[in-house]
Structure 1
Amino acid sequence: MSTLRLAAVAAEFGRDLEQDFLIVEKLVERARSAGVQLLALPEACLGGYLLGLDGSAADDPGPPALELDGPEVRRLAALAGNMTVVAGYCERAGDRKFNSAVCVSGDGVLGNHRKVHQPLSENASYDSGDSFHAFDTPAGRLGMLICYDKAFPEAARALALDGAEIGVCVSAWPGSRTNAAADLAQDRWKRRFDLFDRARALENQVLWLSANQAGTFGSLRFVGSAKVVDPGGEVLADTGVQGGVAVADVDVDRALEAARRHMGHLRDRRPDAYLAGAGLS
């Protein structure tokens, strides 16, 4: 694989689906003009996230529910064209709704992930997914997580064991609800967000794209901090807490080989020594 240009977005999205698509279109065109081949947009970028996670937004109808084979996802794929694009949305499947991420190109849907781990009261709005898997794309073999999923090492490890070379985590990760820092850059939940990104890349020795909502929505103040992380856990590009696009050029094969040459974390695993009951084997 030759050098790949990757980008992760921090941006603000709301309930107006048409306005969201206008934002997505501008971001995609900007990325295309810059030669980006893989673009990660935030969780819930099509229709916005929840207004709160503490039960205070119980009357919130939530984002519009879209079908995986519906016109909105086809519209996203058409916008992607020759790029590979990951975006978060509310997925309708029969009478159930999931917090999902879809990966598309101009050829259509390449992969779909339903958020497995649900923080606080999110389960009042969404059903939970139940699996993690990697899949092939023009940008390489990819695995997707959504927000709180990345707090669980087993989730990213499952993707790596399924051959993922690149992990893409899309988020609507807010700042702390208690003892909130006046300077969002010093917020303790932002520090956790950044730590999880670097740890998941390093422990699995994969490239890592982290997209996130920015700005505010309802009672939530998002930490932004979209980034690209190399397989050694080093941040190659970062938007900070403001909106923006983090872009990095990476020779994927060389980066993976260099990270895994001497200490291969996947190669050197000892499943026989782990507690099977803990789900680590």
Structure 2
Amino acid sequence: MKTGIIQQHNTTDMQDNMQRLAEKIARLAHDGAELIVLQELHNGLYFCQVEDVNNFNQAEPIPGPSTEFFGKLAKEHHIVLVTSLFERRTAGLYHNTAVVFERDGSIAGKYRKMHIPDDPAYYEKFYFTPGDLGFRPIDTSVGRLGVLVCWDQWYPEAARLMALHGAEVLIYPTAIGYESSDTEDEQERQREAWTTVQRGHAVANGLPVITVNRVGHESDPSRQTNGIEFWGSSFVAGPQGELLFRAPKDEETCQLIDIDLRRSEQVRRWWPFLRDRRIDHYDNLLKRFAEE
């Protein structure tokens, strides 16, 4: 499966951001991409650095203007396209939603982000209601896609449930970066932990992983912090966690990677983790904390 990823630095000009994405999508499709994955909330800046009710004006219904725009691109270039949008479901109810388009421009499915962070500069609970569509893969002409979003990538349960429902690949549109007051060593520990945990999901489930992150500095509108330096480092890992590609941490990247989905079958034969799961002793996983 020839897969394109677009790691982009966004500005306040949403139309320009979307046009640059369109140009890169066209370039990757021309080079043979069958599947293209975009970063989290790719139309504009990462607005969750502050709690501001005016930011809800950026939300859209699905279907809506952005699904029309990206659906046309998917149809024009005959690709499967994974996007990430700020969904307005109704007044006062909003989601961080990934929308997947089929080659004909139709919506193949969507996933609403399940795990919602609430940390300094990542005030997502102010904006997003936790998803209610479950961990269900989306069937497309290139395969069954286990699409999750950003903070979901730290949770092995989410990856496992996608795998148990038949996902053939795990996909994570992402927006994560450095806290400016952290030391350089701490920043690198965080970036490497982020990569390592997702490579672990690949190994534990015998599936490829595609992760596409933002890149570049985005200022804090409130000026209470020094903003976020998104660490890029978008990557694709194979079903043994092997890195097939990793983007720079400080540059825009538009890359085509060939993923062999057939390898998962063989890897799962060597390492039959699903066979050996002790499902008769996992009841405590449904508890917040398993006290004696």
Please report the TM-score for the alignment, with normalisation by the length of structure 1: 0.89
- Matching of residue 158 in structure 1 with residue 161 in structure 2: yes
2:223 aligned residue:
none
- Matching of residue 62 in structure 1 with residue 55 in structure 2: yes
Residue by residue, what CA displacement relative to the aligned partner does 1:137-189 show, whole Å, maximum 9, x if unpaired?
1110111111110111101111100100011100001124542428x9x6222
1:87 aligned residue:
83
Q: Matched residue of 1:222: which SS?
A: strand
Selected match of 1:72 from 66, 69, 72? 66
CA contact (8 A) 1:237 1:247 kept: no
CA contact (8 A) 1:116 1:128 kept: yes
- Matching of residue 5 in structure 1 with residue 2 in structure 2: yes
1:269 aligned residue:
277
2:208 aligned residue:
207
Cα deviation, residue 60, structure 1: 6.9
1:38 aligned residue:
35
AA at the equivalent of 1:236: L
1:278 aligned residue:
285
Q: Aligned residue pairs: how many?
A: 269
For residues 190 and 174 of structure 1, the distance between their equivalents in structure 2, rounded to whole angstroms, comes to 8
Cα deviation, residue 119, structure 1: 1.5
2:109 aligned residue:
111
For residues 196 and 23 of structure 1, the distance between their equivalents in structure 2, rounded to whole angstroms, comes to 31
Q: What do you get for the CA RMSD once the two structures are aligned?
A: 1.9
CA contact (8 A) 1:208 1:230 kept: yes
Cα deviation, residue 197, structure 1: 2.1
- 1:229–1:133: structure 2 CA closer, same or farther, 3 Å change rule? same
Tell me the percent identity. Answer: 28
1:195 aligned residue:
196
For residues 153 and 17 of structure 1, the distance between their equivalents in structure 2, rounded to whole angstroms, comes to 34
1:259 aligned residue:
267
AA at the equivalent of 1:277: N
Please identify runs of 4+ aligned residues in structure 1 that moved more than 4 A.
none
For residues 220 and 20 of structure 1, the distance between their equivalents in structure 2, rounded to whole angstroms, comes to 18
CA contact (8 A) 1:227 1:246 kept: no
For residues 98 and 48 of structure 1, the distance between their equivalents in structure 2, rounded to whole angstroms, comes to 16
Cα deviation, residue 9, structure 1: 2.2
Q: Matched residue of 2:270: which SS?
A: coil
AA at the equivalent of 2:43: L
Q: Matched residue of 2:29: which SS?
A: helix
CA contact (8 A) 2:74 2:105 kept: no
Q: Matched residue of 2:45: which SS?
A: coil
5+ residue gaps, structure 1, are none
1:29 aligned residue:
26
5+ residue gaps, structure 2, are 220-226, 288-292
Cα deviation, residue 15, structure 1: 4.2
Q: Matched residue of 1:46: which SS?
A: coil
CA contact (8 A) 2:206 2:267 kept: yes
Q: Matched residue of 1:74: which SS?
A: helix
Q: Matched residue of 1:215: which SS?
A: strand
For residues 166 and 86 of structure 1, the distance between their equivalents in structure 2, rounded to whole angstroms, comes to 13
Residue by residue, what CA displacement relative to the aligned partner does 1:161-220 show, whole Å, maximum 9, x if unpaired?
0100011100001124542428x9x62221122112211111111111100111122211
Q: Matched residue of 1:30: which SS?
A: helix
